Amino acid sequence: MTNTKIYIALSKLNTTDLNRFKKFVYSPYFNINETLQKLLSKSVALIKANKQDYSKEKTWQSLFPDESFDDKRFRKICSDLLKLFEKFLIQEAFEQNPLHQANYLIKAVSGKKQERLYNTTMNTARRLSARELNRSASYYYYQYQIEKNYYQLTDFDAKRGDRSNVEEITNNLDRFYLAEKLKYYCNLLSRQKIITHDYEFLFLDEIIEHIKKYDYTDIAPISIYYYIYLTLTNEDDPTIIEKLKALIDKHIDKFPPAEAIDIFFSAINYWIRKLNQGNQNALKQILILFKEGLHRNLLHVNGELDPFLFKNIVVVALRQDEFDWVESFIHQYGSTVYEEYRENATSYNLATLHFYKKDYRKVIQLLQTIEYDDVNYNLDAKSMLLATYYETDEFDALDSLFGSFRTYLTRNKKIPEARRKNYSNLIKFTKKLSRLNTNDKVALSKLKTEITETNGIVSKRWLLEKVGELE
């Protein structure tokens, strides 16, 4: 039972959503099958009891105590409940989208020939539109649909001098089209280094020239994606990122959370590209944006923080010696990291903080006492422990780690070959560094050149720092 699709789906719901789904299933409008109600109640009880392995046969017995187990019939019941769950998700999404409701209301009164409700319905649709805070591209698409349906409802008479709403229809459609076209083109440009396909974007030059000519400053998705496009195609103009930042400050609250975080990261990614080009101011700008994103709650999605974003924020701040801020950040936001990564993320990033503070005793305590479940954290923890042993001259422990680290890289099939090679290079060069005769300047110079010219080394900057200290 606990490995069925419906059980797994329900186990991911919080208590509030489980209760709402229960009301849905027990509503005679949506369901009159009592067996599905019983199966749901049993499933909820198992979820609350945190049952990890409960058989289909036992579940069947609780549903039909006087009948022999019928696997085919049981799978059908589970499938029917899953279909109900899908309808519930659709209903929930519908309830959360007032513009969608308004549009379907117009269609419904038209289809049912409720002529006397036309004006009331349109007033309702326009009222809901005015109250809608979301002003992403989808807003203009829904506006287009509402105006189009209104056009079909209304008998415009040119002879009477009636003014139709054709202009509203086309304007909203154009705004949706321009914004979406720019959005996906920006997405393509930002990923062009890893994309192997050739894509043809029709009318891109015409769209860019059109936006240059007309003022779309107050149309949030068009103005923002236009300036994101400019940051990707004209990085040498420092005024562009400032204008994008001003637009983000003005409009970011008009986008749904997932899109807002992508928009916000377009500014961060601009400075990351600058950092990779050697811009010394970029790291400071990235941290400023991270702090602002946290303050405005733009980096969390559904109240949770991505563990790898959590780690990147820590590293950026530590590279600017903001130790007190990092410690406060870890304790304040560690509890918001995705639950399955939370313990690993908190302990690993505390270890990183102590490593930067050169408090190596605490680093070893943290890294030796926790077994990291995630491969990425495991790799980074072993890399940090390797550096810590080198920094503290624990060469016996370092030699032992060289062997166990290589074994882990060899045996763990989840590690892509390119990453395996990068970590293997770290082990190779750290071993050479630890066994180098510091008086042999020729060998030291040769090692520095080898590290510099090798592509794909984890902690390359740290390795070069250690060579520099020996020089």
Instruction: Tell me, yes or no, whether 51 lies in a domain.
Output: yes
Which parts of 169-213 are beta strand (E)? none
379 vs 376, 414, 426, CA distance in Å?
5, 12, 11
Question: Of the candidates 142, 174, 206, which is a domain's last residue?
Answer: 174
Residues 80 and 147 in one domain: no
Instruction: Tell me, yes or no, whether 421 lies in a domain.
Output: yes
Residues 112 and 90 in one domain: no
Instruction: Tell me, yes or no, whether 358 lies in a domain.
Output: no
Residues 53 and 117 in one domain: no
* Spatial separation of the C-alpha atoms in residues 133 and 253, rounded to whole Å: 8
CA terminus-to-terminus distance, the chain: 65
Overall number of domains in the chain: 3
φ and ψ at residue 304, rounded to 5 degrees:
-120, 150
* Spatial separation of the C-alpha atoms in residues 138 and 229, rounded to whole Å: 19
For the full predicted model, state whether its pTM sits above 0.85: no
Residues 412 and 461 in one domain: yes
Instruction: Tell me, yes or no, whether 298 lies in a domain.
Output: no
DSSP line for 160-206:
GTPPPSHHHHHHHHHHHHHHHHHHHHHHHHHTTTT--S----TTHHH
* Spatial separation of the C-alpha atoms in residues 20 and 325, rounded to whole Å: 41
Residues 68 and 121 in one domain: no
How do the residues of the chain divide into helix, strand and coil, expressed in percent and rounded to 5?
A: 75, 0, 25
* Spatial separation of the C-alpha atoms in residues 461 and 318, rounded to whole Å: 14
What confidence score (pLDDT) does residue 134 get?
Answer: 84
Question: Hey, which residues does 304 pair with through a beta bridge?
Answer: 301
Reduced to 3 states (helix: H, G, I; strand: E, B; else coil), residue 235 is coil
Question: Of the candidates 154, 174, 194, which is a domain's last residue?
Answer: 174
Residues 85 and 116 in one domain: no
pLDDT, one tens digit for every residue, the chain (471 residues): 788 999 999 999 989 999 999 999 999 999 999 999 999 999 999 998 887 788 899 999 999 999 999 999 999 999 999 999 999 999 999 888 887 888 888 888 877 677 777 778 888 887 877 777 788 999 999 889 888 888 877 766 555 666 788 999 999 999 999 999 999 999 988 877 555 556 677 888 899 999 999 989 999 999 999 999 999 998 889 899 999 999 999 999 999 988 999 999 999 999 999 998 999 899 999 999 999 999 999 999 888 999 999 999 999 999 999 999 999 999 999 999 998 889 889 999 999 999 999 999 999 999 876 667 788 888 999 999 999 999 999 999 999 999 999 999 999 988 999 999 999 999 999 999 999 888 888 999 999 999 999 999 999 999 999 999 987
φ and ψ at residue 301, rounded to 5 degrees:
-120, 120
Would you mind telling me the total number of residues written for the chain in this entry? 471
Residues 451 and 396 in one domain: yes
Instruction: Tell me, yes or no, whether 353 lies in a domain.
Output: no
Residues 15 and 84 in one domain: yes
What confidence score (pLDDT) does residue 197 get?
Answer: 57
Instruction: Tell me, yes or no, whether 403 lies in a domain.
Output: yes
Q: Which domain holds residue 131?
A: 100-174
What confidence score (pLDDT) does residue 168 get?
Answer: 92
What confidence score (pLDDT) does residue 110 get?
Answer: 74
* Spatial separation of the C-alpha atoms in residues 456 and 212, rounded to whole Å: 42
CA-closest candidate to residue 377, choices 407, 399, 351, 406: 351
* Spatial separation of the C-alpha atoms in residues 6 and 11, rounded to whole Å: 9
Residues 66 and 85 in one domain: yes
Residues 382 and 467 in one domain: yes
Residues 65 and 151 in one domain: no
Instruction: Tell me, yes or no, whether 336 lies in a domain.
Output: no
Question: Of the candidates 71, 95, 119, which is a domain's last residue?
Answer: 95
Instruction: Tell me, yes or no, whether 139 lies in a domain.
Output: yes
Residues 73 and 129 in one domain: no
